[in-house]
A and B are shown apart, each in its own frame.
Chain A
Amino acid sequence: MAAATAAEAGAPRVSAARRPPLAWVGTVPFLAYTGVFLLLPTGIVIWNAFKANTGSWTLANISALNTGPVRSAFKGSLELCVISSLIGAIFGAILAYAVASGSPDGMIRRLYLAGSGVLAQFGGVTLAFAFLAAIGPAGFLIHASWYSNFPLGIGLIYCYFQIPLMVLVFLPAIDGLRIQWREAAESLGGSTWHYWRYVGGPLLAPAFSGATLLLFANALSAFATIQAWEDQINYVVPQSIGASFISEVGLANAHQGDALALGMIVMVVIVMTGYVLLQRRAARWQR
């Protein structure tokens, strides 16, 4: 372990000496891209969250976050994201395992991958409308009484794209499990439970938690689907942000929207921090 660390520490110095002087140019597109499309907008959102409509500095937008409707929107976002990402992750992982255990070049695998690729992108108004027409109040299949229940109804709709997304992002990790490891566990007298508890589970844990986080973020930022599903109550934060920009009856306040977006950024930072800690714990033995 110590030797490996020393070798790693030494490695950059060697390559640095060999690296051509303009090698950093290669990172410019990436840095420029993230700068313009991630850092700059984030900075503008934070800046504007502390501005009043008159242009002066204010904390009113921030203190307005602590009102009933906003609190319930954040609670709703959290509920919806946790439920849809956990259900999506668990069922997606099971499905991915089923796909991975089939023939690697088989028809079923190709079918599932292609299908998942399409369905993971199926969202927005089209998706909400498909469910509305199928199981909504006048649905041609059934009228599901829980269709307009939050978070159950919309959570189910979200799972429609969450599960395929999980299959796509989690399949490579499952493919990484070698059959020999299982054989080794069995030849040492381990049961299926032992294998998953001590080999498969720990190996997949970092990828699983990472994929779950991706699903969480995916659900957090979704707007069009829930807006088309239910137009009358702002259940989640993106809907509140939308309202603060588009209200034409005199209730629009773009700076309030920026403050709400800042709240979402804080929410993501908290979840990311938790994720990093968890990841550190889950991946400890791999280092």
Chain B
Amino acid sequence: MRTPYRLSVAGLAVLALVTAAGCAAKSSPSSSSSGYDWSKATSAGSGGGLNALVAAAKKEGTLNVIALPNNWANYGTIIKDFGAKYGIKVNSIAPSDSSAQEVTQIQQQKGTSLAADVLDVGGSVATASTGLFAPYQVATWSSIPAGLKEPSGLYVGDYGGYMSVGYDSAKFGTITSLTQLLGSKFKNAVALNGNPTQANAALNGVMMASLAAGGSAGDIAPGVNFFHRLKAAGNFNATQATPTTIKAGTTPVVFNWDYLNTASVVGQPASTWKVFVPAGATLGGFYYQAVNKGAPHPAAARLWEEFLFSQTAVGGQNLWLVGGARPSEQIAMTSNGSINKSAAAALPPVAGTPTFMTQSQATAAATYLAANWPKAIS
């Protein structure tokens, strides 16, 4: 999901493929107690309802998830709670992988028991990889806004947030606009969560700067120009911001999704670590759930989706909310009263109509960045 450090040269990737092909046990095609093949189920109803799904998933006993860092949108708790509730062992594979690596993993481990059952990917990767996904509609399907789901359920928006700026107010006082960051007291202070030609969160950081500088979702150039000025002022820090770099004080101003920028996630005291969304630059972004078409645990994969989209107090939607992310069913849950009100009230306030990039706008932004980003910041 995020930009990792871990990937090595192509040889190593190939090596992994070779060794995995040699070592991974071939799993037998799963079939549940009732004989129903859950890999074909497009909803819990088509396999006999939620109870049948739970029974089949328990029988499988295991679920492989991938690229879910524990401190990302409360995933640590979500994984623990799911495992405890259903008695299913959750293998959390490569927590710091990127969306692109998630897709590579299910291709390379295809047909083995090691393949990830479910994915949590960015929009670009989701739309480009639908051939690898199984359509599945959760019980709360109608609560998910139409703009956030592929009509058949190949991928479904799960949670999202707004781009934000987190900063150490003990060092800089109150910041309210991005142009302040060009000032001399921000020497080497401003960092992104990754490289915008690689990481979704970083690309959106540049896009937020573009919106704040008068650009639009279709035009990221003003954002690149902002970072060029930031670099020229000596204020851009080329290190990827992580809770570790924030703790060490090397990246005291961070552009990131608001749910990754909260004081508790970055491990800073709430009294000094402040988060703001720049005026006129409310940029939203969602991640998407998808079920691996060849999932080694097809029932557990679908039960995981039901859990993530459940509106109960201890279901995935409210757990994401507690982690500072905005669940995709938030509007429906606010009106039906199932939302965790204190967690919803704790979200950073946003003003104005949020902007969401379309897929073609995101692609155009990435293409522009590939050609212009290295020049702008060197």
| Interface-facing stretch out of A99-107, A188-196, A251-259 | A251-259
Do B238 and A232 touch across chains, with their CB atoms under 8 A apart?
A: yes
Do B238 and A148 touch across chains, with their CB atoms under 8 A apart?
A: yes
Q: Let me know if A228 is at the binding interface, CB within 8 A.
A: yes
Q: What is the minimal beta-carbon distance from A245 to any residue of chain B, in angstroms?
A: 6
- A230-283 contacts to B (CB < 8 Å): 230-234, 238, 241-243, 245-252, 254, 257-258, 260-261, 264
Do B5 and A228 touch across chains, with their CB atoms under 8 A apart?
A: yes
Q: Interface of chain A, helix or strand or loop or mixed?
A: helix
Among residues of A, the one whose C-beta sits closest to the C-beta of B187 is A137
User: B11 to chain A: which residues have CB within 8 Å?
Assistant: 41-42, 45, 261
List 5 A-B pairs, minimum CB-CB distance, nearest first.
A137-B188, A261-B10, A248-B99, A250-B124, A231-B240
Q: Let me know if B18 is at the binding interface, CB within 8 A.
A: yes
The one of B4, B9, B97, B198 in contact with A261, judged by C-beta atoms closer than 8 angstroms, is B9
A243 vs B203: C-alpha distance when bound (angstroms): 14
- A7-42 contacts to B (CB < 8 Å): 36-37, 40-42
User: B178 to chain A: which residues have CB within 8 Å?
Assistant: none
User: B203 to chain A: which residues have CB within 8 Å?
Assistant: 249
Annotate B188-216 by CB proximity to A: 1 below 8 A, 0 otherwise: 11001011111110010000000000000
Q: Let me know if B362 is at the binding interface, CB within 8 A.
A: yes
A248 and B238 in contact (CB under 8 A), knowing A40-B18, A129-B244, A138-B249? no
Q: Let me know if A111 is at the binding interface, CB within 8 A.
A: no
Q: Let me know if A6 is at the binding interface, CB within 8 A.
A: no
| Interface-facing stretch out of A82-90, A164-172, A219-227 | A219-227
A132 and B194 in contact (CB under 8 A), knowing A45-B11, A234-B374, A247-B98? no
Q: Let me know if A202 is at the binding interface, CB within 8 A.
A: no
Annotate B99-113 by CB proximity to A: 1 below 8 A, 0 otherwise: 111001000000000
Do B101 and A245 touch across chains, with their CB atoms under 8 A apart?
A: yes
Q: What is the minimal beta-carbon distance from B14 to any residue of chain A, in angstroms?
A: 4
A149 vs B239: C-alpha distance when bound (angstroms): 13
Do B98 and A138 touch across chains, with their CB atoms under 8 A apart?
A: no
User: B232 to chain A: which residues have CB within 8 Å?
Assistant: none
17 contacts between A and B (CB under 8 A): A137-B189, A138-B250, A223-B7, A223-B8, A227-B5, A232-B192, A238-B9, A247-B197, A248-B1, A248-B121, A248-B124, A248-B125, A249-B196, A250-B366, A251-B367, A254-B10, A257-B10
Q: Let me know if A177 is at the binding interface, CB within 8 A.
A: no
- B259-279 contacts to A (CB < 8 Å): none
The one of B101, B189, B366, B378 in contact with A233, judged by C-beta atoms closer than 8 angstroms, is B378
Q: What is the minimal beta-carbon distance from B235 to any residue of chain A, in angstroms?
A: 10
Instruction: Please give the residue numbers on chain A whose beta carbons come within 8 Å of chain B beta carbons, in ascending order.
Output: 36-37, 40-42, 44-45, 48, 69, 124-125, 129, 132-133, 136-138, 143, 148, 221, 223-224, 227-234, 238, 241-243, 245-252, 254, 257-258, 260-261, 264
A248 vs B196: C-alpha distance when bound (angstroms): 10
Do A245 and B7 touch across chains, with their CB atoms under 8 A apart?
A: yes
- B338-378 contacts to A (CB < 8 Å): 362-363, 365-367, 369-370, 373-374, 377-378
User: B99 to chain A: which residues have CB within 8 Å?
Assistant: 248
Do A224 and B6 touch across chains, with their CB atoms under 8 A apart?
A: yes
Q: What is the minimal beta-carbon distance from A178 to any residue of chain B, in angstroms?
A: 42
Annotate B5-33 by CB proximity to A: 1 below 8 A, 0 otherwise: 11111110111011000000000000000
A231 vs B249: C-alpha distance when bound (angstroms): 17
Do B237 and A137 touch across chains, with their CB atoms under 8 A apart?
A: yes
Among residues of B, the one whose C-beta sits closest to the C-beta of A243 is B198
User: A258 to chain B: which residues have CB within 8 Å?
Assistant: 10
Q: What is the minimal beta-carbon distance from A276 to any residue of chain B, in angstroms?
A: 22
Annotate B226-270 by CB proximity to A: 1 below 8 A, 0 otherwise: 000000000001111000110011101000000000000000000
User: B8 to chain A: which residues have CB within 8 Å?
Assistant: 221, 223-224, 238, 242
Q: Let me know if B3 is at the binding interface, CB within 8 A.
A: yes
Among residues of B, the one whose C-beta sits closest to the C-beta of A246 is B98
A252 and B10 in contact (CB under 8 A), knowing A37-B15, A137-B237, A233-B374? no
A69 vs B371: C-alpha distance when bound (angstroms): 9
A256 vs B367: C-alpha distance when bound (angstroms): 16
Q: What is the minimal beta-carbon distance from A219 to any residue of chain B, in angstroms?
A: 13
A223 vs B101: C-alpha distance when bound (angstroms): 17
Do B197 and A246 touch across chains, with their CB atoms under 8 A apart?
A: no
A280 vs B5: C-alpha distance when bound (angstroms): 40
Q: What is the minimal beta-carbon distance from B238 to any residue of chain A, in angstroms?
A: 4
